[in-house]
Amino acid sequence: MKIIIAPDSFKDSLSAEGVARAIAEGLAQVWPDAQLIQCPMADGGEGTVDSVLAACNGELRRQTVRGPLGGTVQARWGWLADSHTAIIEMAEASGLQLVPPGQRDACSSSTFGTGELIRAALDLGARRIILAIGGSATNDGGAGAMQALGVQLFDTQGQPLPPGGLALSRLARVDLEQLDSRLAQVRFEIAADVNNPLCGPHGASAIFGPQKGANPEQVQQLDAALRHFADHCAQVLPKDVRDEPGSGAAGGLGFAAKAFLGAQFRAGVEVVAELVGLDAAVRGADLVITGEGRFDAQTLRGKTPFGVARIAQTHNVPVIVIAGTLGDGYEQMYAHGVDAAFALPSGPMSLEQACSEAPRLLRERAADTARLWRCALSVAAQLRY
């Protein structure tokens, strides 16, 4: 019996590695001789670095960079020396979790620290940089990151622009003369599941600005500022990408990554699956178990169970989901490769209790799943005869 265990993290509770370990312990209670292969996963958001490093025996590195509001933060990123590949989560340097709710400022927050992480990867000789851009606190069109990489932005007085998206409304000139020449030798991949354009009613400011602290008036101002930024970028870059899907991701960092770095957008779970070798692991397996904190209709939008199930489906391997909760529309996943789904709680309990007891609950639910699967195999064998 070969079982692949490929869950995402359970937010505010367990890392993907911790979830996979607990599930494996539960399965081993029923199938002590089974081959249990743990493949911790992520969808390009929180936990991407940890999942990839766990699977690839990579190196966790730390860098002091500028945070979204200008203070210094210690950001973690991953390095795969054999392939000269860097894995960077922008949230480590420019993430919403770095800013207390009362201090969120979409107008002045900056992605400069994310650019500093890219620069650190260049210093190590990176030839491929994977940038996971979920969870940003910023709405600066990626201008800060590009400034960290040498792009100069000037106002009408010839003065450098201060940080933040709102300052882009005063932009008069984009200068690429000092752009880091090493960038041309690097393949950039953006791990994201957001398809919004940079501007307009479905753009970065309108859709994501409010959660970053922007009021309705500021949303309009930021949208106009990003449009102005894109106008000036179009004068010095070969292609205007503002309307391309994903340009509005991470407050417009997607735009800058495409426009200045020639980045390719890929589904986050697809990138992680490739790096951890999930397809090869699933081939020849008897069962795949995946999961996430909340399994619902949103899972269809490129979340980890969706990506895992799609790979398993190509190899005709059944998939079972163990989730923290089953939300509205989760049953839609039954048409996309998932065969059964189970929630973690064994009875009424608070969210805090479920999170604190997640390892035990995962072990119990995994053991229950194994017993049910063993019963199904027994019935199937009897029907054959």
Domain count within the chain: 2
382's CB contacts (< 8 A; 6+ apart) are none
Residues 223-276 pLDDT 10s: 999 999 999 999 999 999 999 999 999 999 999 999 999 999 999 999 999 999
pLDDT of 384 higher than 80: no
Query: Rounded mean pLDDT of 32-48?
Result: 92
Question: Beta strands 2-5 and 35-38: pairing type?
Answer: parallel
H-helix or E-strand spanning residue 189? strand 187-191
Residues 193-216 pLDDT 10s: 788 999 999 999 999 999 999 999
Task: Give dist(CA 255, CA 139) in Å, integer.
Answer: 11
Looking at residue 159, the DSSP 8-state letter turns out to be: P
Q: Which of 43, 302, 160, 234 is nearest to 247 (CA)?
A: 234
Q: Which domain holds residue 319?
A: 2-41+277-384
Residue 308 belongs to some domain of the structure:
yes
In angstroms and rounded to an integer, the radius of gyration of the C-alpha atoms of the chain is: 22
Pair 233, 126: CB distance under 8 Å: no
Query: Rounded mean pLDDT of 117-141?
Result: 96
224 and 250 fall within a common domain: yes
> Confidence band (pLDDT; 50, 70, 90) for 385?
low
- The CA–CA distances, whole Å, from 37 to 55, 285, 327 equal 11, 10, 28
Residue 313 belongs to some domain of the structure:
yes
Task: Give dist(CA 308, CA 9) in Å, integer.
Answer: 14
Q: What is the CATH number of the domain that holds 135?
A: 3.90.1510.10
pLDDT, position 356: 84
Query: How many Å is the maximal CA-CA distance in the chain?
Result: 86
118 and 212 fall within a common domain: yes
pLDDT, position 114: 98
Amino acid (one-letter) located at 52: V
> Confidence band (pLDDT; 50, 70, 90) for 155?
very high
**Which of residues 233, 266, 299 is at a domain's end?**
266
6 and 67 fall within a common domain: no
> Confidence band (pLDDT; 50, 70, 90) for 20?
very high
Residue 148 belongs to some domain of the structure:
yes
Q: Return the minimum-mean-pLDDT range out of 17-21, 247-251, 352-356.
A: 352-356
